[in-house]
Amino acid sequence: MTALLEELNSRQREAVLHRAGPLLILAGAGSGKTRVITRRVVWLIREGGVRPSEILAVTFTNKAAGEMRERIQEQLGSSSDAVWVSTFHSTGLSILREHGAAIGLPRSLVVYDDGDQLALLTRLMKDQGVDTTLLPPRAVRSRIDFAKSCGLGPDEMEVADHDLLGERARSVYRSYQAALRASGAVDFGDLLLETVSLLRRNEEVLELLERRLRYVMVDEFQDTSPVQYALVRLLTRKSGNLAVVGDDDQSIYGWRGADVRNILAFERDYPNAKVVRLEQNYRSTRVILDAAHAIIRRSPTRKEKRLFTDQSGGDLVRVLNAVDERDEAQLVARQIEAALSEGYSRGEMAVFYRVNAMSRVLEDALRERRIPYHVVRGRSFYERAEIKDITAYLRLAVNPHSDSDILRVINTPRRGIGTRTVERLRKAAAGSSGSIWSVLASPGSLKEVGPAAVRRLAAFREIIGKLHEMSTSSVSTKDIVREAMIGSGYVSSLEAEEAPEALERLENLHELLSVATERSSNGESLVQMLDDMALAGDADDDVEPEQVALMTLHAAKGLEFDVVFVIGMEERTFPHARAFAAGGWSEDEEALSEERRLCYVGFTRARRRLTLTSADSRWIMGERQVRSPSRFLEEIPSELIERSLRVSGSTAKRYGGRISSGPSWEGSPFPGEVPSNSDPDLVVVDYDFDQRPPDECGRRLRPGGRVRHRTFGDGKIHEVDGLGGNARLVICFDDAGIKKVLARYLEIL
């Protein structure tokens, strides 16, 4: 007993020794929560008379579950095998396999992954005659997944008034669920939704599980969705022995269905709950903890807690300002070299950024200085699928006879060219000892290819032919890349999806356009750019085992490093532009709170040194835009900062001998605008629909109005569906034809 508790502080012991009833453990970053959970399991078995098989410990990832299982086994040996340590989805699957017959699910049910799910939705939508250009299957999948995370079936799925596409998505949801049932299948969302449905509809099964599972513990409770919370509440309906461990300050997955209200309202749901706050931090220095608290304390809805540590002092937070993103990347690279000279190891350093696209210039700077790195939980910029897809189009612009590139993009985005047609193309090319491009020149010679397929092949050949013609003329690299993105239909297909991952892929494409814009300004050709990209892809082949970690702030959750850099600390970069209602005129309180929590998570990953960087301007969507320092920098007390850029009022930065005013610290809703085709030395500030006042937006966003899109150009509004930045508009563009575009991508003329 003594050995079990001797390494714990008083609050940790209090949590471990709680015998019965609901328990809320508010565990701050680095406060030893995993140790508390595992020790409590061991204490209940050794001292509380609880059988191992009566305990269920649930977490979110297989890795976390494995770590928890190993720690329990270290204390209990083989008797720990009966403790049910599992992820939420695995728990649901086990219950459905054993008891799913009660709601018509076979024991041999099949679990569909994302690809299976998308294929089924696509087939159903085609059968129903749904126009997948207006309602892409990925967008439907996103809506269904979110509905399931909220515990909503097709009949309960919430659809706003006049949301015609939402109504259609709900109809597809119904037929999708029917098709799953007919196939004896479930998707990942069903593993929880169907389990909750089973327990609510079948009292016998619920009582059986209640008798079996006397104690339920949930890790990372702040990340639970409504359906996950519903599941654990059902399982502990009678016993009340639900122990949850989490930190509302680290709830950063709202876009994935997590609901921070679960942890905030726990005491309302369980009035007799015991609350234990774990506030002693064993990871970071006092300076880092104080800086993090200065950010998170401004969150309007949180449970009060303040981390402390026995470690005194520590390096002050370094705040560095750069001219642009390249200067910022060089600053970070030099700081890494300096830290190496001080004795820090590469493996204990990490660079965090808000979106994946920001890794590109950073990778260039580290590669230039031969600093080994790896991109954590993500791909190197040039290895991401959307970048490789557009790169394939660009290689075809230079060499249309590249069969591998044709096969990659001939139906990407989807243009109705099926696998059988592609296979006939390949056979025809092999039979003539030529390339697929040569066969495309005379599609009439293809046997068993119908007229519709011939027309689609001709349209694809026209896309590549135009790119090839551009590459052999004096057209700039930037314009060729823009044409590859637009002419292929790639950008419009992503914009139509609406899903968070589609927006991130768009940001990556905008970063690629920024690369091309920069190359064009330096007079580089498309071939030179492609060569550099190819070499960059090969640079990681022979890296040292110890590498600097690059990752998004979301991916940083659960990790820790001696030295941490957080880059891009600017308004509309971090906090992200999506944290502002209608794109910038007013703040979205909950979205901004999640950005604040994300910042807190980033800061508290650092053990010994924290460096924050910002840039005066960045290439955004192919244009140079002024950025003002993040509000998060202003909120850090000056006594915690080693070197700081303090800004009040408006700022002005000089580029190429000319001045362009940037937004104020508070973020002016009307930043100055310079037309993109004007003097290239001037700074161009983003000015779009989302930055206008709401009343002006509502008055001018009407059929008949004129708008401008960054890639499609000017056009006339034909239809408006919805309000604000998420409104869907049907636009007849002067040059690009009819497109359906979200309002956030438009500027009102």
C-beta neighbour count of 225 within 10 angstroms: 23
C-beta neighbour count of 188 within 10 angstroms: 19
Residue 672's pLDDT band (cuts 50, 70, 90): very low
Residue 228: per-residue pLDDT: 96
Question: What is the pLDDT averaged over residues 492-512?
Answer: 85
Residue 693: per-residue pLDDT: 39
Task: Tokens for 555, please give them.
Answer: 């991916």
Burial class (CB within 10 angstroms; exposed 0-12, middle 13-18, buried 19+) of 647: middle
Question: What is the pLDDT averaged over residues 587-591?
Answer: 79
Question: What is the pLDDT averaged over residues 102-123?
Answer: 84
Q: How far is CA 211 from CA 100, 110, 207, 333, 532, in A?
A: 18, 28, 6, 58, 64
Q: What would the pLDDT profile of 441-478 be if each residue is shown by its tens digit?
A: 876 667 677 888 888 999 999 999 999 999 999 899 99
Residue 539's pLDDT band (cuts 50, 70, 90): very low
pLDDT reading at 677 higher than 80: no
- Angle formed by the axes of helices 385-398 and 526-538, nearest 10°: 140
pLDDT reading at 685 higher than 50: no
- Alpha carbons 749 and 741: distance in angstroms, whole number: 16
Contact 481, 516 (CB under 8 A): yes
Could you list the active site residues?
33-34, 219-220, 250, 605
- Alpha carbons 25 and 277: distance in angstroms, whole number: 6
Assign 106 to helix, strand or coil. Answer: coil
Q: What would the pLDDT profile of 601-618 be if each residue is shown by its tens digit?
A: 999 999 999 999 999 998
Contact 23, 240 (CB under 8 A): no
Residue 181: per-residue pLDDT: 87
pLDDT reading at 497 higher than 90: no
- Alpha carbons 19 and 145: distance in angstroms, whole number: 37
Q: How far is CA 55 from CA 48, 79, 94, 648, 685, in A?
A: 12, 12, 15, 56, 57
Residue 586: per-residue pLDDT: 53
Contact 170, 214 (CB under 8 A): no
Least confident of 110-124, 178-192, 242-256, 725-739: 725-739
Assign 443 to helix, strand or coil. Answer: helix
Q: What would the pLDDT profile of 701-712 be if each residue is shown by its tens digit?
A: 778 888 888 777
- Alpha carbons 746 and 709: distance in angstroms, whole number: 5
pLDDT reading at 436 higher than 90: no
- Alpha carbons 347 and 254: distance in angstroms, whole number: 30
Residue 379's pLDDT band (cuts 50, 70, 90): low
Cis peptide before 413 (omega within 30 of 0): yes
- Alpha carbons 248 and 223: distance in angstroms, whole number: 9
Residue 120: per-residue pLDDT: 87
In sequence order, the β-bridge partners of residue 350 are 549, 564
- Alpha carbons 508 and 489: distance in angstroms, whole number: 16
> What does the DSSP assignment read for 4-57?
HHTTS-HHHHHHHT--SS-EEEEE-TTS-HHHHHHHHHHHHHHTS---GGGEEE
